Structures are given as structure tokens and as C-alpha cells.
């Protein structure tokens, strides 16, 4: 039988087993930038490259409604989220998130987060050891909670951080992590919906122009005001991904540990280098593996086809490690992004295309801003990295250093004088990414 016509075996189990490496491995076995496969019981076509990004984001090619599997909606995004809308409904809902594309709100959010970080660092002196991933999640939660207008007395940062992290951590896996993610989402949607209702009834005054206020008064022209559950979903679609920047903070710490030479330029306050470093962290380390949409019509890309009702996949991790685009893609080199700032559709850890018109992440500016500020702070901290498991398993989605990146010693500023007998270990076990 012609290899083109042979029925394809469903690759969902291979995806679960191989994680981030699944598509790049299969792409390598084919011609390198397109792959015909089957996923979730449907024919699928995976593509990569800047031209393919434009093909993927063409609304006449794919729609998002019905594209996101229910287990992902019930954990990561929420039912009825902006991610699942198309056409005018998407554009109107997206307006909620457009202030995130502007410099001022992003600067204010960054101020909230860096203030929370500086306070947290002072408190670390009382601790033997801190896990940066966990600490960053609480700091980011505190910052985004205050910036978004949530009343701090009703939303303690620590339990909220645990739930927001759980929603991300458990979206792509069966088992206990997934159950935790479902429970976390159900709990926080209920709380956020109540909050939105209080704002709607006038029992609570949300700060003017805060995310909370905007979500509570948002109207979809065709449907009127958002019901409180959908408003809660969109409020969480600002809080949750902001806290997800803790994954990148742990990766930044990993990069500074593996390639300590970058510390100097960050410490010195070289702003352009901080931006390049943030971009390289987002390119090099794995987060979103790929994106998918349902094909509206039969599509052909570089000689391979998928019928209407199939799946078009954009190979995010593969494109961010494409030899042709990046040259030596598995080397961590922020300088590559100093010499040549990335084109719109080249660096796609948070999607491609135009964020105002399409589905590209509206939080990219927030992510880069936070990562620049926190990477500089990390580089200025003096700390010891004790022995721990720093491997980053590619089979786990989403992945991170296994230990969460623990530090001891001078990160805890007054520690040496408070506990003079403490011995400092400099032994560290790191593994390659993978």
C-alpha cells in the first residue's frame, strides 16, 4: 500500500510517553518541517516555521471551537475561555486582555511583583533553604492579586498560588496531578465567580480599571454581560498564567547555574542583555509543546494533507529548537537574540501572529517584563546550590527542574551571622535538559 494512503495509527499514547520530544522526533524522521499523523482519534498535520505560523493562524484554515480537549479546559483554561472562541466572539472577548499589550499596566504589574519579591527575599534569612519555584509562585501570586484588584484579606497568596500552579501542572497528564488540577480550578472558579457577583451587586468596589473591574463589567455584544462563571474563567486567565512565570524563573535559575558567566551582565543592569536573556530562557526551555486547531477545510502544506474536521498542529517546541532558524539550537546563548531580535513568527513560546487580532498570548510583554526583572534580581543574589536533582525531564508536560531549584546560604542575607555554624555545600548535581 502507498505510504501516503496507509491508515495512520493514533499517536496519542506516543505523545503521553515521549512528551516534548514526540513531534520533533517524528519531524526528524519525516522531511523536517511537516508531519502527517493521528491524534485524539483524528487525522492531524503538524507544521513548523515562520511561514507555517501564518498558515496556522489563518482563520479560514482552523477554528478553536471544539479544538481544546475537555480535560485541558477543565484544568488549564476553563470552559468558555477566550482560547476557545473564533471570529467576532473572539475579538470582543480578547479586548479584555488588550491592556496587557501596553507598557503602563505591565510596568505597574512588574512593580507589584518586584516589591513582593524584595520583601520575600528579606524573609528568606529565617529559613534553612528555599525552593525558588515555590517562592516565585507565591511572589507572583501576591503581585498579580494586588495588581488585578482582588482583596488581599480574602485571598491569601499561599493557598491561591498552590491552586494556580496545580491548574498548570496537571493539565496534560492523567492521574493524581490531573485530579488536583480539576479540584483547584473548581475551587477557584467558585471563589472568583462570587467575587465578580459582589462587584456586580455593588457589595464590593473593585479598583477603577483593574482586571477585576473590567471582567465584571465586560459585555459580549451578542450575549450581553458575561455570566459570573465565565467572568471568573477570564479573571483566572490573567492570574494563572502570570503565576506560571514561576516555571521560567526556575529555568532562569537553572541557566544561571549552568552558565554562570551570564550573571555579570545581568548584575550590571544591562537592560538589552536582560531582554535577550528572557527571550533565550523562553526559547531554550520547554513549556508549551505545541498548539492545535480544528481544520475548517481540507488543507495541504508542503505536499501533505489533512481533511476538514482534522487537527492542524503548530510544533512550538520544535520551532524554538529548529536548526535552520536558530543554528546550534541546543546551546543556551542569549547573545543570539542581541545580534538579531526575533521576528514576530520566529520565536513562538507563547504562540505566533498578532496578539491583538489572533490567539497569540496577550501576556508576552508581561512575561518578558517579569522575567527580565526577576532574572536581574536572581543574578544579584549570592546563594549556594546544594546537592539536588536538577534534571528537567522532557517526558513531563509541563516540565521543570525536578527539585524546583533549592538554594541555601547567602540568598538568605543575614544567615551567615544568624547561624555561624552552618556549613555551606557547593556540591550540585545537574543533568542535561532532557
Footprint on this chain of ligand HEM (rule: CB under 6 A):
82-83, 94, 97, 100, 237-238, 241-242, 244-245, 247-248, 287-288, 291, 349-351, 359-363, 366-367
| CA distances from residue 311 to 33, 43, 291, 320 in whole angstroms, order as listed | 16, 6, 10, 21
Whichever of 181 and 291 has its CB closer to ligand HEM, that residue is 291
Whichever of 241 and 329 has its CB closer to ligand HEM, that residue is 241
Smallest distance, Å, CB 140 to ligand HEM? 9
Smallest distance, Å, CB 429 to ligand HEM? 26
Q: Contact, 247 vs 133, CB < 8 A?
A: yes
Q: Contact, 311 vs 15, CB < 8 A?
A: no
Smallest distance, Å, CB 390 to ligand HEM? 20
DSSP 233: H
**Strands 311-314 vs 42-47: parallel, antiparallel or unpaired:** parallel
Smallest distance, Å, CB 427 to ligand HEM? 31
260-269: long-range pairs with CB below 8 Å, 24+: 262/334, 262/379, 263/379, 264/379, 266/375, 266/376, 266/378, 266/379, 266/380, 267/376, 267/379, 267/380, 269/376
Whichever of 78 and 409 has its CB closer to ligand HEM, that residue is 78
C-alpha span between 255 and 249 (Å, rounded): 10
Cell 477543565 sits at which residue? 74
Tell me if residue 17 falls in helix, strand or coil.
helix
Q: Contact, 257 vs 428, CB < 8 A?
A: yes
Whichever of 56 and 124 has its CB closer to ligand HEM, that residue is 56
Tell me if residue 133 falls in helix, strand or coil.
helix
Smallest distance, Å, CB 119 to ligand HEM? 21
Whichever of 82 and 412 has its CB closer to ligand HEM, that residue is 82
Smallest distance, Å, CB 425 to ligand HEM? 31
Whichever of 172 and 361 has its CB closer to ligand HEM, that residue is 361
Q: Which residue is nearest to ligand HEM (CB)?
A: 363
Whichever of 362 and 386 has its CB closer to ligand HEM, that residue is 362
Smallest distance, Å, CB 3 to ligand HEM? 31
Amino acid at each position: 500500500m502507498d505510504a501516503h494512503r496507509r491508515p495512520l495509527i493514533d499517536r496519542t499514547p506516543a505523545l503521553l510517553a515521549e512528551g516534548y520530544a514526540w513531534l520533533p522526533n517524528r519531524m526528524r524522521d519525516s522531511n523536517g518541517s511537516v508531519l502527517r499523523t493521528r491524534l485524539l482519534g483524528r487525522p492531524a498535520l503538524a507544521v513548523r516555521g515562520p511561514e507555517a505560523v501564518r498558515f496556522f493562524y489563518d482563520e479560514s484554515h482552523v477554528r478553536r471551537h471544539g479544538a481544546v480537549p475537555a480535560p485541558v479546559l477543565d484544568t488549564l483554561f476553563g470552559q468558555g475561555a477566550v482560547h476557545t472562541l473564533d471570529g467576532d466572539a473572539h475579538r470582543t472577548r480578547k479586548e479584555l486582555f488588550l491592556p496587557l499589550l501596553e507598557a503602563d499596566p505591565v510596568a505597574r504589574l512588574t512593580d507589584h511583583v518586584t516589591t513582593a519579591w524584595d520583601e520575600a527575599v528579606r524573609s528568606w534569612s529565617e529559613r534553612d533553604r528555599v525552593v525558588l519555584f515555590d517562592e516565585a509562585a507565591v511572589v507572583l501570586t501576591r503581585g498579580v492579586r494586588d495588581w488585578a484588584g482582588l482583596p488581599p484579606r480574602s485571598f491569601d497568596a499561599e493557598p491561591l498560588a498552590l491552586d494556580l500552579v496545580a491548574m498548570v501542572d496537571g493539565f496534560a497528564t492523567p492521574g493524581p496531578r490531573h485530579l488536583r488540577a480539576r479540584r483547584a480550578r473548581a475551587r477557584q472558579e467558585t471563589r472568583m465567580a462570587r467575587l465578580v457577583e459582589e462587584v456586580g451587586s455593588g457589595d464590593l468596589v473593585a479598583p477603577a480599571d483593574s482586571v477585576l473591574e473590567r471582567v465584571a463589567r465586560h459585555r459580549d455584544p451578542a450575549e450581553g454581560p458575561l455570566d459570573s462563571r465565565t467572568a471568573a474563567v477570564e479573571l483566572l486567565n490573567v492570574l494563572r498564567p502570570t503565576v506560571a512565570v514561576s516555571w521560567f524563573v526556575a529555568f532562569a535559575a537553572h541557566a544561571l547555574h549552568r552558565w554562570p558567566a551570564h550573571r555579570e551582565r545581568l548584575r550590571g543592569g544591562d537592560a538589552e542583555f536582560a531582554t535577550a536573556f528572557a527571550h533565550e530562557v523562553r526559547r531554550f526551555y520547554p513549556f508549551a509543546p505545541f498548539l492545535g486547531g480544528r481544520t475548517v477545510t481540507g488543507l495541504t502544506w508542503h505536499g501533505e494533507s489533512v481533511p476538514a474536521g482534522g487537527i492542524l498542529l503548530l510544533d512550538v517546541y520544535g520551532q524554538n529548537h529548529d536548526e535552520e532558524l536558530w543554528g546550534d539550537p541546543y546551546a543556551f546563548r542569549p547573545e543570539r537574540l542581541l545580534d538579531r531580535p526575533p521576528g514576530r513568527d520566529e520565536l513562538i513560546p507563547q504562540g505566533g501572529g498578532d496578539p491583538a487580532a489572533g490567539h497569540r498570548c496577550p501576556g508576552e510583554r508581561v512575561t518578558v517584563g517579569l522575567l527580565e526583572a526577576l532574572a536581574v534580581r536572581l543574578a544579584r543574589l549570592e546563594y549556594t546550590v546544594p546537592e539536588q536533582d536538577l534534571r528537567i525531564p522532557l517526558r513531563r508536560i509541563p516540565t521543570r527542574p525536578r527539585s524546583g531549584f533549592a538554594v541555601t546560604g547567602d540568598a538568605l542575607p543575614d544567615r551567615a551571622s544568624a547561624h555561624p555554624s552552618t556549613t555551606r555545600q557547593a556540591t550540585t548535581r545537574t543533568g542535561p535538559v532532557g
